[in-house]
Amino acid sequence: MDAELKEKWAFIVNPTAGNGFAKSMIHVIEEKLKEYSIAGEILLTERSGHATELSELCLAKGFRYIISVGGDGTMNEVARPLINRKDVITGIIPAGTGNDFVQITGFPDRFSENDWDILFRKNITGLDAGSVNGMIFLNGMGLGFDAQVAAENYTEPGEVKRGGKNKYIWHIVKTILFFKEKRMKMTSGQNSSESECFINTISIGRRFAGGFFLTPKAYANDGLLDVCSIKKLNLLQRFKLLLKVPKGEHITDKKVNYYQTCGLELEFPEKVPFHVDGELNFSINFKVSILPDALNILYNPDGNHFFRK
């Protein structure tokens, strides 16, 4: 591999991310490549799963930097072939709607001129990943209330989501009012318990749904999963507790069990929805584990990142 190719950058853009905002970033990236005299290519996704195919292609061609341009789901797809590859570096230019994952790296939801400069300085750190039933997650996975909201708001890949933010808020309110907790068996190490949980979030990062700090103590390089398990709540308790989540103040409530672990197993009596970095899935059994130091990632060392120094 020659020296020029070793430094070559690939930008994998999901043009539909952020209601089309990611597509507007193509011209910006082209200008930045010229400005910083960087050899790079821009590749556009065409369907669900295509970002993974493009990432594999870039890996096979020997690209050194493989960057996601989109939301959390696009970043997840780009990262899949890069797990435990120490010869490649990934990163994200946030262009989605929620943009929760980028918070881990210390960059904001939208790049300023200064953020581009920091990105191309190539500050690199190790990032843990999670694994659930063979799928990876970089920010987190969730069962219960938040997964049901995702199920309510789900559209088939390629379909256009209609109703936007107002529809999403309606799904949140409806789920608060009518969600019914399901019995769950949880095993972590030698400990096993059964309960009915309103929310069960397992994470690498801290922020979900664009502003809910469900796991506010999480560090993305400590080799541990952070678990926030909220017990069954009545309607008043749901509203009161959810109001505390944006600032991470819920974890002191007696209804909340917050802990760290290297892995756990969950079992439900029937299939339930769960999200992996915001993408919807269904299962009965869950085997969750940590993949320490799984990725090399670009980050902002001076930003409000979620890495332990």
Cβ atoms of 225 and 261 closer than 8 Å: yes
- Which residues contact residue 157 at a Cβ distance below 8 angstroms, ignoring those fewer than 6 apart? 47, 48
Asked whether residue 298 is assigned to any structural domain, the reply reads no
Please indicate, yes or no, whether residues 98 and 167 belong to a single structural domain of this protein: no
pLDDT score for 142: 93
Instruction: Check which CATH number belongs to the domain holding 142 and give it.
Output: 2.60.200.40
pLDDT beyond 80 at 6? no
Could you say which of 77, 94, 122 is where a domain stops?
122
Please indicate, yes or no, whether residues 188 and 148 belong to a single structural domain of this protein: yes
Please indicate, yes or no, whether residues 272 and 146 belong to a single structural domain of this protein: yes
Instruction: Check which CATH number belongs to the domain holding 86 and give it.
Output: 3.40.50.10330
pLDDT score for 165: 52
Please indicate, yes or no, whether residues 169 and 92 belong to a single structural domain of this protein: no
**Three-state helix/strand/coil letters over 172-185:** HHHHHHHCCCCEEE
Please indicate, yes or no, whether residues 107 and 23 belong to a single structural domain of this protein: yes
pLDDT beyond 70 at 52? yes
In percent, how much of the chain has pLDDT > 70?
93
Asked whether residue 308 is assigned to any structural domain, the reply reads no
Please indicate, yes or no, whether residues 285 and 151 belong to a single structural domain of this protein: yes
Please indicate, yes or no, whether residues 142 and 86 belong to a single structural domain of this protein: no
Please indicate, yes or no, whether residues 209 and 249 belong to a single structural domain of this protein: yes
Asked whether residue 302 is assigned to any structural domain, the reply reads no
| Average pLDDT value for residue range 220-243 | 95
| Average pLDDT value for residue range 180-198 | 89
Q: How many CB atoms lie within 10 A of CB 205?
A: 28
Give the helix ranges, DSSP H, for the chain.
3-6, 21-35, 50-60, 72-79, 102-105, 113-119, 145-152, 164-178, 235-242
Please indicate, yes or no, whether residues 211 and 77 belong to a single structural domain of this protein: no
DSSP state letter for 160: P
- Chain segment 99-125, per-residue pLDDT in tens: 999 999 999 999 999 999 999 999 999
Backbone CA torsion sign across 129, 134, 135, 141: negative
| Average pLDDT value for residue range 50-76 | 97
Which tokens hold the place of 279? 């993408």
pLDDT beyond 70 at 291? yes
Please indicate, yes or no, whether residues 77 and 192 belong to a single structural domain of this protein: no
Please indicate, yes or no, whether residues 8 and 140 belong to a single structural domain of this protein: no
- Chain segment 134-149, per-residue pLDDT in tens: 999 999 999 999 898 8
Please indicate, yes or no, whether residues 140 and 283 belong to a single structural domain of this protein: yes
Asked whether residue 10 is assigned to any structural domain, the reply reads yes
Q: How many CB atoms lie within 10 A of CB 232?
A: 16
Asked whether residue 170 is assigned to any structural domain, the reply reads yes
Q: How many CB atoms lie within 10 A of CB 88?
A: 18
Number of structural domains, the chain? 2
Could you say which of 100, 122, 144 is where a domain stops?
122
pLDDT score for 113: 94
pLDDT beyond 60 at 279? yes
pLDDT score for 154: 62
In percent, how much of the chain has pLDDT > 90?
82
- Which residues contact residue 211 at a Cβ distance below 8 angstroms, ignoring those fewer than 6 apart? 246
Asked whether residue 249 is assigned to any structural domain, the reply reads yes
| Domain extent at residue 85 | 3-122
Alpha carbon distance 264, 276 (integer Å): 16
Could you say which of 55, 89, 122 is where a domain stops?
122
Asked whether residue 229 is assigned to any structural domain, the reply reads yes
What's the pTM?
Answer: 0.90
What mean pLDDT is reported for the chain? Answer: 91
pLDDT beyond 60 at 20? yes
pLDDT score for 4: 46
Alpha carbon distance 78, 68 (integer Å): 6
pLDDT score for 184: 93
pLDDT score for 166: 59
For residue 296, what pLDDT band results from cuts at 50, 70 and 90?
Answer: very high
- Chain segment 156-166, per-residue pLDDT in tens: 444 434 444 55
